[in-house]
């Protein structure tokens, strides 16, 4: 066992801490997957040792965080032994032997997949999701599954089956959603990598709230089969808006895991095609052309997030990159937000019963034609006709063309992920009745999704990166949006920025016997209105 000096952060103040590691907290827990692979290759550690250490850390600390909702430790140890045997035969590739976690919404044979729905608490699929199969084929060691919100429809992670996941930086705040368990797990050192999914910022928001990295791939780049709500069949469908993607503590690890995940489903497009992503546009920060966006006309940007965006802008300027603060080439953000809400809610409401649909249709018909609010767009989206959906989709294609023109002049766009850092747990009432506090003023809870939708609606890749801490000591992240199918460009930009703006910082995580904080109690999500269960 070895001692080491780390920089821990609490309440916005850096302080050096000399820590002599115990068996629960040895030197490997916060190493990157890339570093762990090198150590495994050099014989400095075994996969069994890494796995045992990760399990010990989860067993000690996760009672306070509640990130790992389904443990699979016996099979993880067996997988670690197989990985060590493979290395002894001379086999070597990433992420062979690396402990990882998987979002609860992915099917893993023999483990429950519930999406937080109590009626499906006993549902156990018999086949792995395609991305789980790819992880296992690459030799990754799956420690277990991470917590999610009910039906993945919240930017908090709590449900009646598994309870609430707390933010490692402040247990009274959310870790985000819907991949909140994965983000919290990574921030706590519970494995080096995780896989999540993103429709409304579900990879990017938890990364922003917990201070880690995540990448929303280009729509369609990574196969999604088996990331499906119970008890629906795991079919190789092409999803609209939604993607699956990697989460990690470094930008290079994101790229490593994306290489495992990328590629079409072998049951469909994979019969004819392989993924062949182009290289990053540039290898030096000085060569990047970046558009910086701080403000959205639909919702204010909080001071802490604004400061994070500007830290990134300043780092780019210091390295000689060309930045601009506005461009007429940017597609209309108000229309983009409206289209995003229409498309997202029409998808979410597709399975409604006829009587609920009719009730919503009556409410939508009563809206004033002049009502262009996002709340009106959400209601209209839930009852969108196929004719109107086609029209909205055609407008989306115009936005995609606008983005292609923008990316002829710029290489990336830097903007917020949400208007604020992680907010206090709020489990009361329906989602449409909640509010988000932005510098002391309340706004509709849903409206904060416009930043996530900026990349989601046109299907663009977006990399979430840590951008420092707020004055309250909470992580602040930003997203780097890149050109379609040029995922390596924002990933490379994230890697180059990492040493300039600090990258991941480990929160102080205490075992339950060392702190008064504990897992929050869970209140049942409201089912009093049809609209509260549609996102």
- Catalytically active residues are 103, 178, 202
What does the buried/exposed string (b/e) look like for 222-251 if buried means 16 or more CB atoms within 10 Å of the residue's CB? bbbbbbbbbeeebebeebbbbbbbbbbbbb
In sequence order, the β-bridge partners of residue 101 are 194
Q: What SS3 class is residue 299?
A: strand
Q: Quote the DSSP letter at residue 473.
A: S
- Residue 323 bridge partners (DSSP): 290
Query: Distance (Å, rounded) from C-alpha 148 to C-alpha 164?
Result: 9
365 Cβ contact list (under 8 Å, min separation 6) = none
Rounded Cα–Cα distance for residues 512 and 168 (Å): 12
CA end-to-end span of the chain, whole Å? 47
Q: Where would I find the H helices in 43-102?
A: 47-65, 73-88
Neighbouring CB atoms inside 10 A of 259's CB total 16
Judge whether 533 and 151 are in contact, CB under 8 Å: yes
Contact between 113 and 104 under an 8 Å Cβ cutoff? The reply is yes
Residues in a beta bridge with 197: 244
The total of other beta-carbon atoms located within 10 Å of residue 333's CB is: 18
Residue 171 burial (CB count, 10 A):
22
In b/e form, how buried is each residue of 421-452, taking b as 16+ CB within 10 angstroms? Answer: bbbebbbeebbbebebebeeeebbbbbbbbbb
Going by C-alpha positions, the residue among 239, 232, 236, 185 that lies closest to residue 212 is 185
Q: What separation in angstroms does the CA of 302 have from each of 60, 309, 416, 451? A: 35, 11, 10, 13
Which are the contacts of 490, defined by CB distance < 8 A and separation ≥ 6? 215, 412, 461, 462, 463, 480, 481, 482
- What DSSP designation does 369 have? T
């Amino acid at each position: 066992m070895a001692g080491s000096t780390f920089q821990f952060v609490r309440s916005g103040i850096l302080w050096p801490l000399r820590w002599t590691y115990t068996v629960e907290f040895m030197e490997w827990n916060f190493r990157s997957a890339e570093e762990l692979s090198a150590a495994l290759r050099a014989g400095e550690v075994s996969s069994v040792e890494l796995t045992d250490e990760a399990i010990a850390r989860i067993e000690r600390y996760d009672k306070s965080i509640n990130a790992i909702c389904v443990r699979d430790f016996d099979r993880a140890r067996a997988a670690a032994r197989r990985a060590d045997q493979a290395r002894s035969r001379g086999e070597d590739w990433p992420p062979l032997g690396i402990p990882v976690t998987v979002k609860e919404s992915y099917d893993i044979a023999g483990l429950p997949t519930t999406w937080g729905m109590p009626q499906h608490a006993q549902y156990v699929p018999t086949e792995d999701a395609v991305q789980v199969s790819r992880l296992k084929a690459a030799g990754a060691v799956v420690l277990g599954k991470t917590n999610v919100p009910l039906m993945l429809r919240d930017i908090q992670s709590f449900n009646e089956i598994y309870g609430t996941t707390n933010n490692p930086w402040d247990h009274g705040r959310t870790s985000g959603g819907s991949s909140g368990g994965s983000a919290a797990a990574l921030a706590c050192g519970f494995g080096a990598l995780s896989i999540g999914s993103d429709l409304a910022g579900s990879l990017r928001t938890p990364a922003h709230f917990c201070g880690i990295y995540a990448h929303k791939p280009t729509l369609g780049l990574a196969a999604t089969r088996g990331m499906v709500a119970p008890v629906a069949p795991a079919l190789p469908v092409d999803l609209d808006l939604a993607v699956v993607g990697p989460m990690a503590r470094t930008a290079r690890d994101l790229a490593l895991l994306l290489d495992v995940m990328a590629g079409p489903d072998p049951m469909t497009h994979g019969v004819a095609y392989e993924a062949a992503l182009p290289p990053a546009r540039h290898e030096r920060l000085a060569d990047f052309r970046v558009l910086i966006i701080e403000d959205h006309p639909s919702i204010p940007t909080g001071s802490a997030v604004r400061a994070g965006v500007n830290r990134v802008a300043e780092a780019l300027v210091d390295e000689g990159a060309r930045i601009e603060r506005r461009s007429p080439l940017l597609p209309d953000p108000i229309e983009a937000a409206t289209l995003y809400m229409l498309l997202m809610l029409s998808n979410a409401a597709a399975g409604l019963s006829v009587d609920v649909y009719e009730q919503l249709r009556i409410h939508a018909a009563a809206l004033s034609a002049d009502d262009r609010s996002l709340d009106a767009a959400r209601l209209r989206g839930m009852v969108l006709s196929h004719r109107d959906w086609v029209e909205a989709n055609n407008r989306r294609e115009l936005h995609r063309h606008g983005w292609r023109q923008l990316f002829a002049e710029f290489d990336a766009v830097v903007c917020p992920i949400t208007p604020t850092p992680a907010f206090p747990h709020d489990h009361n009432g329906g989602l449409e009745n909640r509010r988000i506090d932005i510098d002391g003023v309340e706004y509709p809870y849903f409206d904060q999704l416009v930043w996530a939708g900026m990349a989601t609606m046109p299907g663009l890749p977006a990399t979430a990166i840590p951008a420092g801490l707020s004055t309250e000591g909470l992580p602040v992240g930003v997203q780097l949006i890149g050109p379609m199918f040029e995922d390596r460009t924002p990933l490379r930009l994230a890697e180059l920025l990492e040493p300039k703006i600090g990258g991941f910082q480990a929160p102080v995580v205490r075992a339950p016997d060392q702190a008064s904080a504990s897992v929050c109690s869970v209140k049942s999500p409201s089912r009093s209105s049809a609209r509260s269960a549609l996102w």
